[in-house]
A = this chain, B = another copy of it.
Amino acid sequence: MQNFTFHNPTRILFGAGQIGSLRREVPQGARVLLTYGGGSIKANGVYDQVRKALEGFELLEFGGIEPNPTFEHLMKGVELARAEQADFLLAVGGGSVIDGTKFMAAAIPWHGNEWDIVSRHMAPRAALPMGTVLTLPATGSESNCFAVVTRAATQDKIAFSSPLIFPRFSILDPETTYTLSPRQIANGVVDAFVHTVEQYLTYPADAPLQDRFAEAILRTLIEEGPRTLADPTDYAARSNVMWCATMALNGLIGAGVPQDWATHTIGHELTALHGLDHAQTLAIVLPNLLWVQRTDKREKLVQYATRVWDCQDGNEAVRLEKGIIATRTFFEAMGNPTHLNAYAVGEDRFGEIVDRLQARKSLPLGERKDITSEKVLEILALAR
Protein backbone atom coordinates (compact mmCIF):
# COMPACT_ATOMS: atom_id res chain seq x y z
CA MET A 1 0.00 0.00 0.00
CA GLN A 2 1.24 3.48 -0.82
CA ASN A 3 1.36 6.17 1.86
CA PHE A 4 -1.75 8.32 1.86
CA THR A 5 -3.78 11.00 3.58
CA PHE A 6 -7.50 10.39 3.85
CA HIS A 7 -9.75 13.16 5.05
CA ASN A 8 -13.43 13.65 4.30
CA PRO A 9 -15.23 16.00 6.66
CA THR A 10 -18.57 16.18 4.79
CA ARG A 11 -21.53 15.21 6.97
CA ILE A 12 -23.95 12.98 5.03
CA LEU A 13 -27.64 12.97 5.94
CA PHE A 14 -29.16 10.08 4.05
CA GLY A 15 -32.75 9.02 3.57
CA ALA A 16 -36.31 10.02 2.89
CA GLY A 17 -37.35 13.26 4.56
CA GLN A 18 -33.84 14.48 5.35
CA ILE A 19 -34.38 17.83 3.61
CA GLY A 20 -36.18 18.85 6.79
CA SER A 21 -32.78 18.71 8.53
CA LEU A 22 -31.61 21.73 6.51
CA ARG A 23 -32.64 24.20 9.15
CA ARG A 24 -30.29 22.55 11.65
CA GLU A 25 -27.43 22.19 9.19
CA VAL A 26 -27.36 25.70 7.71
CA PRO A 27 -25.68 28.10 10.20
CA GLN A 28 -28.18 30.21 12.13
CA GLY A 29 -28.51 33.67 10.67
CA ALA A 30 -26.77 32.75 7.42
CA ARG A 31 -27.53 34.71 4.26
CA VAL A 32 -28.01 31.78 1.93
CA LEU A 33 -27.52 31.75 -1.82
CA LEU A 34 -29.51 28.84 -3.22
CA THR A 35 -28.02 27.55 -6.48
CA TYR A 36 -29.63 25.22 -8.98
CA GLY A 37 -29.78 24.18 -12.61
CA GLY A 38 -32.44 24.25 -15.26
CA GLY A 39 -35.37 24.30 -12.91
CA SER A 40 -36.24 20.61 -12.56
CA ILE A 41 -36.24 21.11 -8.79
CA LYS A 42 -39.24 23.41 -9.23
CA ALA A 43 -41.12 20.75 -11.18
CA ASN A 44 -40.41 17.88 -8.79
CA GLY A 45 -41.13 19.67 -5.53
CA VAL A 46 -37.59 19.74 -4.15
CA TYR A 47 -37.40 23.52 -4.43
CA ASP A 48 -40.53 23.89 -2.31
CA GLN A 49 -39.23 21.41 0.27
CA VAL A 50 -35.98 23.35 0.56
CA ARG A 51 -37.68 26.73 0.87
CA LYS A 52 -40.03 25.33 3.50
CA ALA A 53 -37.17 23.84 5.51
CA LEU A 54 -35.38 27.20 5.40
CA GLU A 55 -38.31 29.42 6.37
CA GLY A 56 -36.95 32.33 8.36
CA PHE A 57 -33.54 32.31 6.64
CA GLU A 58 -32.57 35.06 4.20
CA LEU A 59 -32.62 33.31 0.84
CA LEU A 60 -31.15 34.48 -2.46
CA GLU A 61 -31.26 32.45 -5.66
CA PHE A 62 -29.03 31.73 -8.60
CA GLY A 63 -30.35 29.25 -11.17
CA GLY A 64 -29.53 28.19 -14.67
CA ILE A 65 -26.28 26.36 -13.89
CA GLU A 66 -25.68 24.20 -16.96
CA PRO A 67 -24.63 20.58 -17.31
CA ASN A 68 -20.84 21.04 -17.61
CA PRO A 69 -21.14 24.36 -15.80
CA THR A 70 -19.43 27.27 -17.50
CA PHE A 71 -17.10 29.78 -15.95
CA GLU A 72 -18.95 32.54 -17.79
CA HIS A 73 -22.34 31.76 -16.24
CA LEU A 74 -20.95 30.94 -12.80
CA MET A 75 -19.25 34.35 -12.65
CA LYS A 76 -22.71 35.94 -12.71
CA GLY A 77 -23.48 33.99 -9.55
CA VAL A 78 -20.17 35.07 -8.04
CA GLU A 79 -21.03 38.71 -8.69
CA LEU A 80 -24.52 38.27 -7.27
CA ALA A 81 -23.13 36.66 -4.10
CA ARG A 82 -20.60 39.47 -3.68
CA ALA A 83 -23.18 42.20 -4.28
CA GLU A 84 -25.71 40.63 -1.92
CA GLN A 85 -23.11 39.55 0.63
CA ALA A 86 -24.21 35.94 0.73
CA ASP A 87 -22.29 33.98 3.34
CA PHE A 88 -23.49 30.42 2.70
CA LEU A 89 -24.06 28.55 -0.57
CA LEU A 90 -26.63 25.79 -0.85
CA ALA A 91 -26.38 23.76 -4.05
CA VAL A 92 -29.56 21.89 -4.92
CA GLY A 93 -29.07 19.59 -7.88
CA GLY A 94 -26.64 17.12 -9.41
CA GLY A 95 -22.90 17.11 -9.95
CA SER A 96 -22.89 20.07 -12.31
CA VAL A 97 -24.74 22.32 -9.89
CA ILE A 98 -22.51 21.19 -7.05
CA ASP A 99 -19.30 21.57 -9.06
CA GLY A 100 -20.36 25.01 -10.22
CA THR A 101 -21.21 26.03 -6.67
CA LYS A 102 -17.82 24.80 -5.46
CA PHE A 103 -16.18 27.07 -8.00
CA MET A 104 -18.33 29.96 -6.81
CA ALA A 105 -17.42 29.19 -3.18
CA ALA A 106 -13.74 29.56 -4.02
CA ALA A 107 -14.17 32.46 -6.47
CA ILE A 108 -16.32 34.76 -4.31
CA PRO A 109 -13.54 35.70 -1.85
CA TRP A 110 -10.80 35.45 -4.53
CA HIS A 111 -8.78 38.52 -5.47
CA GLY A 112 -7.53 38.34 -9.02
CA ASN A 113 -8.53 36.39 -12.11
CA GLU A 114 -10.97 33.73 -10.93
CA TRP A 115 -10.19 31.44 -13.89
CA ASP A 116 -6.69 30.99 -12.45
CA ILE A 117 -8.24 28.83 -9.69
CA VAL A 118 -9.19 26.33 -12.40
CA SER A 119 -6.69 26.72 -15.21
CA ARG A 120 -3.58 27.39 -13.15
CA HIS A 121 -4.66 25.35 -10.11
CA MET A 122 -3.93 28.31 -7.86
CA ALA A 123 -4.91 27.38 -4.30
CA PRO A 124 -7.76 29.36 -2.77
CA ARG A 125 -6.93 30.69 0.69
CA ALA A 126 -10.60 30.99 1.59
CA ALA A 127 -13.95 29.75 0.37
CA LEU A 128 -17.55 30.38 1.35
CA PRO A 129 -19.00 27.46 3.31
CA MET A 130 -21.46 25.39 1.32
CA GLY A 131 -23.87 22.50 1.65
CA THR A 132 -25.74 20.42 -0.90
CA VAL A 133 -29.05 18.73 -1.53
CA LEU A 134 -28.20 16.04 -4.06
CA THR A 135 -30.86 15.20 -6.64
CA LEU A 136 -28.83 13.11 -9.12
CA PRO A 137 -26.57 10.28 -7.94
CA ALA A 138 -23.52 10.19 -10.18
CA THR A 139 -20.45 12.28 -9.66
CA GLY A 140 -19.70 11.96 -5.95
CA SER A 141 -19.20 15.74 -5.86
CA GLU A 142 -21.50 15.90 -2.82
CA SER A 143 -18.73 14.38 -0.72
CA ASN A 144 -15.40 15.36 -2.20
CA CYS A 145 -13.22 18.40 -2.81
CA PHE A 146 -13.13 18.24 -6.63
CA ALA A 147 -14.99 20.23 -9.26
CA VAL A 148 -14.92 20.42 -13.05
CA VAL A 149 -15.64 23.71 -14.80
CA THR A 150 -15.75 24.56 -18.50
CA ARG A 151 -14.71 27.84 -20.09
CA ALA A 152 -17.29 28.27 -22.85
CA ALA A 153 -15.10 30.63 -24.89
CA THR A 154 -12.33 28.05 -25.33
CA GLN A 155 -14.21 24.81 -24.54
CA ASP A 156 -11.63 24.06 -21.86
CA LYS A 157 -13.16 21.55 -19.43
CA ILE A 158 -10.83 21.34 -16.41
CA ALA A 159 -10.88 19.79 -12.95
CA PHE A 160 -9.56 21.54 -9.86
CA SER A 161 -9.58 20.76 -6.15
CA SER A 162 -9.16 22.36 -2.77
CA PRO A 163 -9.81 21.06 0.75
CA LEU A 164 -11.81 24.27 1.28
CA ILE A 165 -14.55 23.17 -1.13
CA PHE A 166 -15.68 20.04 0.69
CA PRO A 167 -19.40 20.56 1.34
CA ARG A 168 -20.07 21.01 5.07
CA PHE A 169 -23.05 18.69 4.67
CA SER A 170 -24.89 16.88 1.92
CA ILE A 171 -28.47 15.70 2.05
CA LEU A 172 -29.15 12.54 0.05
CA ASP A 173 -32.84 11.78 -0.16
CA PRO A 174 -33.41 9.00 -2.73
CA GLU A 175 -37.01 10.13 -3.22
CA THR A 176 -35.81 13.39 -4.79
CA THR A 177 -34.38 11.30 -7.66
CA TYR A 178 -37.60 9.49 -8.62
CA THR A 179 -38.35 11.96 -11.42
CA LEU A 180 -34.98 11.62 -13.16
CA SER A 181 -35.05 10.37 -16.76
CA PRO A 182 -33.71 6.91 -17.62
CA ARG A 183 -30.82 8.65 -19.40
CA GLN A 184 -29.87 10.57 -16.26
CA ILE A 185 -29.98 7.41 -14.15
CA ALA A 186 -27.99 5.42 -16.71
CA ASN A 187 -25.42 8.21 -16.86
CA GLY A 188 -25.17 8.24 -13.08
CA VAL A 189 -24.61 4.51 -12.82
CA VAL A 190 -21.97 4.56 -15.58
CA ASP A 191 -20.25 7.57 -14.03
CA ALA A 192 -20.01 5.92 -10.61
CA PHE A 193 -18.88 2.66 -12.22
CA VAL A 194 -16.07 4.36 -14.14
CA HIS A 195 -14.99 6.42 -11.13
CA THR A 196 -14.51 3.13 -9.33
CA VAL A 197 -12.67 1.51 -12.21
CA GLU A 198 -10.27 4.47 -12.56
CA GLN A 199 -9.09 3.82 -8.99
CA TYR A 200 -9.13 0.02 -9.17
CA LEU A 201 -8.14 -1.29 -12.59
CA THR A 202 -4.47 -0.35 -12.54
CA TYR A 203 -1.82 -2.70 -11.11
CA PRO A 204 -1.67 -4.67 -7.85
CA ALA A 205 -0.51 -2.57 -4.93
CA ASP A 206 -0.85 -4.89 -1.92
CA ALA A 207 -4.13 -3.23 -1.04
CA PRO A 208 -6.69 -6.03 -0.84
CA LEU A 209 -9.21 -4.05 1.22
CA GLN A 210 -9.32 -1.17 -1.27
CA ASP A 211 -9.69 -3.75 -4.06
CA ARG A 212 -12.60 -5.45 -2.33
CA PHE A 213 -14.30 -2.15 -1.54
CA ALA A 214 -14.07 -1.22 -5.22
CA GLU A 215 -15.41 -4.63 -6.25
CA ALA A 216 -18.25 -4.16 -3.74
CA ILE A 217 -19.29 -0.91 -5.43
CA LEU A 218 -19.03 -2.39 -8.93
CA ARG A 219 -21.06 -5.50 -8.08
CA THR A 220 -23.71 -3.42 -6.36
CA LEU A 221 -24.01 -1.07 -9.34
CA ILE A 222 -24.30 -4.05 -11.70
CA GLU A 223 -27.08 -5.46 -9.54
CA GLU A 224 -28.96 -2.30 -8.61
CA GLY A 225 -28.48 -0.28 -11.82
CA PRO A 226 -30.90 -2.27 -13.98
CA ARG A 227 -33.26 -2.66 -10.99
CA THR A 228 -33.55 1.11 -10.52
CA LEU A 229 -33.94 1.72 -14.27
CA ALA A 230 -36.80 -0.77 -14.34
CA ASP A 231 -38.59 0.74 -11.36
CA PRO A 232 -37.62 4.35 -10.64
CA THR A 233 -39.60 4.46 -7.38
CA ASP A 234 -38.06 1.32 -5.87
CA TYR A 235 -36.68 3.10 -2.82
CA ALA A 236 -34.13 0.41 -1.93
CA ALA A 237 -32.64 0.22 -5.43
CA ARG A 238 -32.45 4.00 -5.79
CA SER A 239 -30.88 4.29 -2.31
CA ASN A 240 -28.21 1.76 -3.13
CA VAL A 241 -27.26 3.43 -6.40
CA MET A 242 -27.10 6.77 -4.60
CA TRP A 243 -24.83 5.46 -1.84
CA CYS A 244 -22.60 3.67 -4.36
CA ALA A 245 -22.11 6.89 -6.31
CA THR A 246 -21.01 8.76 -3.18
CA MET A 247 -18.63 5.97 -2.13
CA ALA A 248 -17.14 5.76 -5.62
CA LEU A 249 -15.50 9.16 -5.37
CA ASN A 250 -15.16 10.24 -1.75
CA GLY A 251 -11.48 9.33 -1.51
CA LEU A 252 -11.98 6.01 0.23
CA ILE A 253 -11.26 3.44 -2.48
CA GLY A 254 -8.44 5.52 -3.94
CA ALA A 255 -6.51 5.80 -0.67
CA GLY A 256 -3.09 4.21 -0.99
CA VAL A 257 -3.46 2.81 -4.51
CA PRO A 258 -2.38 3.87 -8.03
CA GLN A 259 -5.02 5.66 -10.10
CA ASP A 260 -5.63 5.95 -13.82
CA TRP A 261 -8.11 8.73 -14.86
CA ALA A 262 -7.16 8.55 -18.56
CA THR A 263 -10.75 7.67 -19.50
CA HIS A 264 -11.98 10.85 -17.80
CA THR A 265 -9.32 13.04 -19.36
CA ILE A 266 -10.03 11.80 -22.88
CA GLY A 267 -13.78 11.91 -22.20
CA HIS A 268 -13.64 15.57 -21.12
CA GLU A 269 -12.38 16.47 -24.60
CA LEU A 270 -15.24 14.58 -26.24
CA THR A 271 -17.70 16.53 -24.13
CA ALA A 272 -15.99 19.85 -24.75
CA LEU A 273 -15.78 19.36 -28.55
CA HIS A 274 -18.92 17.36 -29.27
CA GLY A 275 -21.29 18.04 -26.39
CA LEU A 276 -21.68 14.42 -25.33
CA ASP A 277 -22.89 13.73 -21.80
CA HIS A 278 -19.98 13.05 -19.46
CA ALA A 279 -21.04 9.46 -18.81
CA GLN A 280 -21.54 8.81 -22.51
CA THR A 281 -17.91 9.68 -23.11
CA LEU A 282 -16.84 7.30 -20.33
CA ALA A 283 -18.90 4.45 -21.79
CA ILE A 284 -17.22 5.04 -25.14
CA VAL A 285 -13.64 5.36 -23.95
CA LEU A 286 -13.35 2.85 -21.10
CA PRO A 287 -13.87 -0.52 -22.83
CA ASN A 288 -11.44 0.43 -25.58
CA LEU A 289 -8.89 1.85 -23.19
CA LEU A 290 -9.00 -1.38 -21.19
CA TRP A 291 -8.35 -3.34 -24.37
CA VAL A 292 -5.46 -1.14 -25.48
CA GLN A 293 -3.97 -1.28 -21.98
CA ARG A 294 -4.65 -4.98 -21.43
CA THR A 295 -0.98 -5.86 -21.01
CA ASP A 296 -0.29 -3.13 -18.44
CA LYS A 297 -3.47 -3.96 -16.57
CA ARG A 298 -3.39 -7.72 -17.01
CA GLU A 299 -3.35 -8.80 -13.35
CA LYS A 300 -6.11 -6.47 -12.27
CA LEU A 301 -8.18 -7.13 -15.39
CA VAL A 302 -8.16 -10.85 -14.62
CA GLN A 303 -9.08 -10.15 -10.99
CA TYR A 304 -11.87 -7.84 -12.18
CA ALA A 305 -13.28 -10.40 -14.61
CA THR A 306 -13.15 -13.11 -11.98
CA ARG A 307 -14.45 -11.29 -8.94
CA VAL A 308 -16.79 -8.71 -10.44
CA TRP A 309 -18.15 -10.64 -13.44
CA ASP A 310 -17.77 -14.17 -12.09
CA CYS A 311 -15.72 -15.24 -15.11
CA GLN A 312 -14.33 -18.48 -13.68
CA ASP A 313 -13.71 -20.45 -16.86
CA GLY A 314 -10.96 -20.20 -19.42
CA ASN A 315 -7.36 -19.06 -19.21
CA GLU A 316 -6.39 -15.56 -18.14
CA ALA A 317 -6.55 -14.10 -21.65
CA VAL A 318 -10.05 -15.45 -22.13
CA ARG A 319 -11.31 -14.22 -18.80
CA LEU A 320 -9.70 -10.83 -19.28
CA GLU A 321 -11.49 -10.38 -22.59
CA LYS A 322 -14.77 -11.59 -21.13
CA GLY A 323 -14.48 -8.96 -18.41
CA ILE A 324 -14.03 -6.18 -20.95
CA ILE A 325 -16.92 -7.45 -23.07
CA ALA A 326 -19.13 -7.68 -19.97
CA THR A 327 -18.29 -4.06 -19.16
CA ARG A 328 -19.31 -2.93 -22.63
CA THR A 329 -22.48 -5.02 -22.51
CA PHE A 330 -23.42 -3.53 -19.14
CA PHE A 331 -23.03 0.05 -20.39
CA GLU A 332 -25.10 -0.76 -23.49
CA ALA A 333 -27.78 -2.48 -21.40
CA MET A 334 -28.01 0.61 -19.19
CA GLY A 335 -28.70 2.60 -22.35
CA ASN A 336 -25.26 4.07 -23.03
CA PRO A 337 -23.94 3.25 -26.52
CA THR A 338 -20.22 2.55 -26.45
CA HIS A 339 -19.34 3.60 -29.98
CA LEU A 340 -18.78 7.09 -31.29
CA ASN A 341 -20.86 6.49 -34.40
CA ALA A 342 -23.96 6.30 -32.18
CA TYR A 343 -23.29 9.97 -31.41
CA ALA A 344 -22.34 11.00 -34.96
CA VAL A 345 -18.75 11.79 -33.98
CA GLY A 346 -16.50 11.14 -36.95
CA GLU A 347 -12.82 10.26 -36.93
CA ASP A 348 -11.85 13.44 -38.75
CA ARG A 349 -11.57 15.24 -35.40
CA PHE A 350 -9.55 12.65 -33.45
CA GLY A 351 -6.40 14.65 -34.19
CA GLU A 352 -7.93 17.70 -32.59
CA ILE A 353 -8.53 15.76 -29.36
CA VAL A 354 -4.90 14.73 -29.19
CA ASP A 355 -3.77 18.28 -29.98
CA ARG A 356 -5.84 19.64 -27.12
CA LEU A 357 -4.49 17.05 -24.68
CA GLN A 358 -0.97 17.94 -25.77
CA ALA A 359 -1.60 21.68 -25.50
CA ARG A 360 -2.84 21.10 -21.94
CA LYS A 361 0.29 19.02 -21.19
CA SER A 362 -2.03 16.14 -20.17
CA LEU A 363 -0.09 13.46 -22.06
CA PRO A 364 1.08 10.84 -21.36
CA LEU A 365 -1.88 9.56 -19.31
CA GLY A 366 -2.63 6.58 -17.09
CA GLU A 367 -1.29 5.04 -13.89
CA ARG A 368 2.02 4.33 -15.59
CA LYS A 369 2.01 7.48 -17.72
CA ASP A 370 2.35 5.43 -20.85
CA ILE A 371 -0.82 6.43 -22.71
CA THR A 372 0.77 8.55 -25.41
CA SER A 373 -0.89 10.43 -28.26
CA GLU A 374 -0.53 7.29 -30.40
CA LYS A 375 -2.42 5.25 -27.84
CA VAL A 376 -5.15 7.86 -27.51
CA LEU A 377 -5.64 7.66 -31.28
CA GLU A 378 -5.71 3.86 -31.07
CA ILE A 379 -8.38 4.02 -28.35
CA LEU A 380 -10.48 6.47 -30.36
CA ALA A 381 -10.10 4.40 -33.52
CA LEU A 382 -11.38 1.32 -31.68
CA ALA A 383 -14.29 3.42 -30.39
CA ARG A 384 -15.57 4.41 -33.85
Contact = CB atoms under 8 A, between A and B. Distances in A.
A17 B3 contact: yes
Interface in A274-331: none
Contacts of A16: 3
A212 interface: yes
Most buried by B among A1, A2, A255: A1
Contacts of A240: 1, 206-209
A202 interface: no
Contacts of A12: 4-7, 255
Contact of A15 (B3, B10, B243): B3
Contacts of A5: 11-14
A212 B206 contact: no
A209 B217 CA distance: 6
Contacts of A224: 208
A144 interface: no
A335 interface: no
A14 B18 contact: no
Contacts of A14: 1, 3-6, 255-256
Interface in A233-278: 236, 239-240, 243-244, 247, 252, 255-256
Contacts of A239: 1, 206, 256
A216 to B, nearest CB: 3
B206 A216 contact: no
A8 interface: yes
- Size category of the A interface is 35 or more
A11 B6 CA distance: 6
A8 B244 CA distance: 18
A247 B209 contact: yes
A220 interface: yes
A213 interface: yes
A61 interface: no
A352 interface: no
Most buried by B among A2, A213, A236: A213
A322 B326 CA distance: 33
Nearest to A214: B216
A9 interface: yes
A334 to B, nearest CB: 18
Interface string A6-38: 111111111111100000000000000000000
Contacts of A213: 213, 216
A219 interface: yes
Contact of A206 (B6, B11, B17, B236): B236
Nearest to A212: B216
Interface of A: 1-18, 206-209, 212-213, 215-217, 219-220, 223-224, 236, 239-240, 243-244, 247, 252, 255-256
Q: Which 8 A-B pairs have the closest CB atoms?
A: A3-B15, A212-B216, A206-B236, A7-B11, A9-B9, A6-B12, A1-B239, A209-B220
5 contacts: A3-B14, A3-B15, A7-B12, A212-B215, A213-B213
